[in-house]
Each structure stands twice: as C-alpha cells, then as structure tokens.
Structure 1
Amino acid sequence: MTVLGAFKGNPRNDLSWLNSSGRPDPEVVFHRANLPRVGLDDVPAASSGVMCSVALYLQDGDIISALTFISAGTAAGTPTNQIAALYSGAGALLGQSADKTTEAWAADAAKSFALSSPVRITRSGVYYAALSVAAATVPTLVGSVGSKPFLTGEANLAQTSGSGIGATAPATISSPTFKRHVPLVVAS
C-alpha cells in the first residue's frame, strides 16, 4: 500500500475534471471563486431589496476590484437598484459598487460590479461577497445548494439579510439568515 492507499493511477489525471473550477491559466487572469464551475444550476438570489451574501475564501495580499455574479434562466425585470459589496468575515463593509440602477440584466449573463476602490486583503480567511437587487423580478443566479452549518464556528455558505436595500450597502451584515441556495461569485 502507498501513501495513496489502494489507488494506483496518477492523482492529477483522476482529478482533472476539477480543472474546470479554476482559471484556465493562473498567469493570465487573477480571480477567486466560491464554487467550482461544474454542477451548477439555476438558484434564487433573494427577494427584492434583500441582500444575499456568500462565503468566499480570500488570501492575504489579494486585491479585489470587482465582484461578478451570473444570472441564470430569469432576467432582471424592471430593476431599480443593483449593488454588490465585499464584507469581512465578521460582517463589516469593506467596499461596495456603484448602483447600476435600471441597467438591464439579461438571463444567462455575467454582471461585474466594480468596487468603488480596490480592497486589499490583509488576512487570509472567509469574507462575504454580497448582492442586492431591487426589481419587479429579481434575476435567478447560477449557483448550487449548500447545507446548514453544523460544526461549531462553521460559516454559512450563503445567507440573506436586510430589507429595502437600495443604492447603499449596509455598514454591517446584521441578523443573517441561512440560505440553502448558494450563488456563484467571482472576485477579481
């Protein structure tokens, strides 16, 4: 028996399907994502004017300038406010985008939200990328399904908070509620 147990193949070959979760060439485009690019589906974001935040592991030294979410099968209908924000693991606002107000967001389309100023990460750990859309029809997002935390100290993979959020992200994530549907976010 080897360090790999009874497995006799090349682990890199066996795990090659996971390459779809990473960037195609790490030297070309820096980004961090909360989910791999496989096994994703159409998931609800949050109600109109409610913030949905997802856990995202960031490394010390990362500089985050934008957060990108991808709509799924349902486009935004009559949007009035669309903002994204980056929060610390403790829920303190680190940066937010400008409000995209009534800008269209079609189905199956990536929407990038540039932060008002880049955020330099000074400590590796879990951060929260948040999205709030106020609209007659909130777009569904590309994402997955996660389980509720059950270990002490474990973070929600996705959560909702607030209501009536417009052009300004709340200073903190207060009273978060577990959300089973986990949208994909890409930080760059």
Structure 2
Amino acid sequence: MTLLGAFKGNPRNDLSWLNTAGRPDPEVTFHRANLPRVGLDDIPAAATGVMCSVALYLQDGDAISNLTFISAGTAGGSLTNQIAALYSGAGALLAQSADKTSEAWAADTAKTFALASPVRVTKSGVYYAALAVAATTVPTLVGSVGAKPFLSGEGNLAQTSGSGITATAPATIATPAFKRHVPLVIAT
C-alpha cells in the first residue's frame, strides 16, 4: 500500500473534474465560491425577512468587494428589501451591501451585491456570506443539499437567523439554525 492507500493513479487526474467544474481560472478572474458548478439544483432560500448565511472559505490577503447569488427557477415577486453581507467566522458583521429594495430578480439570474467597503481578509478560514430578501415571493436559489454537522466543532454549511430583516444586516449572526439547502455564493 502507498501513501494514497489502494489508489494507484495520479490524484491530479482523478480530481481534474473539480478544476473543470469551477469558475474561470482564479489566476485570471479572482473569485472564491462555496460550491463547485456541478450537482447544483433549484433550492429554497430563507423565508421573507430571514437571513441565510453560508460558509465560505477565504484566504489571507483576499479582498472581497462583491457577493453574487444566483436565482433558480422561481423569480422574486413584490420585492421590498434585498441585502447581502459578509460575516467573520465568529458571526460578526464585516460589511454589507446597499439595499436593492424593489429591483427585479428574474429566474435564472445572477445578482451581484457590492459591499459598502471591500473586506481585506487577514486570516484564512471560514467566513459567512449572507443574503436576506423581504418579498411576497422570495426567489429560489441555485445550490445544493448539505448534511447537518455531527462532529465536535463542525459548523453549518448553511444556516438561517433573524426575522423581519429589511435594509440593515444584523451586527451578528445570532442563534443560527441549521439549513439543509446550501445556496451557491461567489465572492469577488
């Protein structure tokens, strides 16, 4: 047996599908994403006025200016507030976007939220990208399904928190609840 166990091939070749599943070459277009581009489907977002935050690994030195979420098969209807925010791994607000209020969000459409000020990451680790939409019909999002954490110290891949959120992101992610559906987020 080798260091790779019973596997006899080249690990780079075996994992190449992950490289082709990703966004543009990160050496050309800087981005960070929480999910690969394969195996995604139409998933429900959080309820109206509830924040959904997803774990996103960021590297020391990254400068994050935008968070992009992609709607799936259901468009937003009668939208009143739409904000995105970036939180530390401990759940403290680092920056939020302006409120996109009633701006339309069609089905199968990427929506980019510019943070009020870029966030320079000073320590590699898990951060949380959050989205809160207040609407009669909250758009569904492109995403995947994640398992509930069961190991000690393991965090949620997606979680919900808060209620009645409108134009201002909460200062902290308070009392997060596990969310099985994990939206795709792209940070640039």
What TM-score, normalized by structure 1, do the two folds share? 0.96
- Structure 2 counterparts to residues 135-154 of structure 1, below 5 A: 135-154=135-154
Matched residue type, 2:99: D
Mapping for residues 20-169 of structure 1, pairs under 5 Å = 20-169=20-169
Determine the C-alpha separation between the residues in 2 that align with 1:121 and 1:24: 21
Amino acid at match of 1:108: D
Between the aligned partners of 1:157 and 1:10, the Cα distance in structure 2 is 30
Determine if contact 1:20/1:36 at 8 Å carries over to the other structure: no
- Tell me the equivalent position of 2:185: 185
Measured in 2, the distance between the counterparts of 1:8 and 1:173 equals 45
Question: Quick one: distance in 1 between partners of 2:23 and 2:126?
Answer: 20
Percent identical across equivalent pairs? 84
Question: What is the one-letter code of the residue matched to 1:89?
Answer: G
Quote how far apart the aligned CAs of 1:140 are: 0.4
Q: What SS does the corresponding residue of 2:86 show, helix, strand or coil?
A: strand
Moved more, 81-90 or 1-10: 1-10
Residue identity opposite 2:181 in structure 1: H
Q: Deviations over 1:55-81 (max 9, x none)?
A: 111111111000000000100011000
* AA at the equivalent of 2:115: L
- Secondary structure at 1:24's aligned position in 2? coil
**Distance across 2 between alignment mates of 1:21 and 1:153:** 29
Equivalent pair of 1:70/1:110 in contact (CA under 8 Å): yes
Aligned-partner SS, 1:27: coil
What is the Cα-based RMSD across aligned positions, in Å? 1.2
Please state whether the residue corresponding to 2:150 is helix, strand or coil: coil
Unaligned runs of 5+ in 1: none
Taking structure 2 as the reference length, what is the TM-score of the superposition? 0.96
Q: Secondary structure at the match of 1:86?
A: strand
Q: Structure 1 counterpart of 2:153, which letter?
A: G
The alpha-carbon deviation at position 4 of structure 1 amounts to 3.2
Q: How far did 1:152 drift? A: 1.1
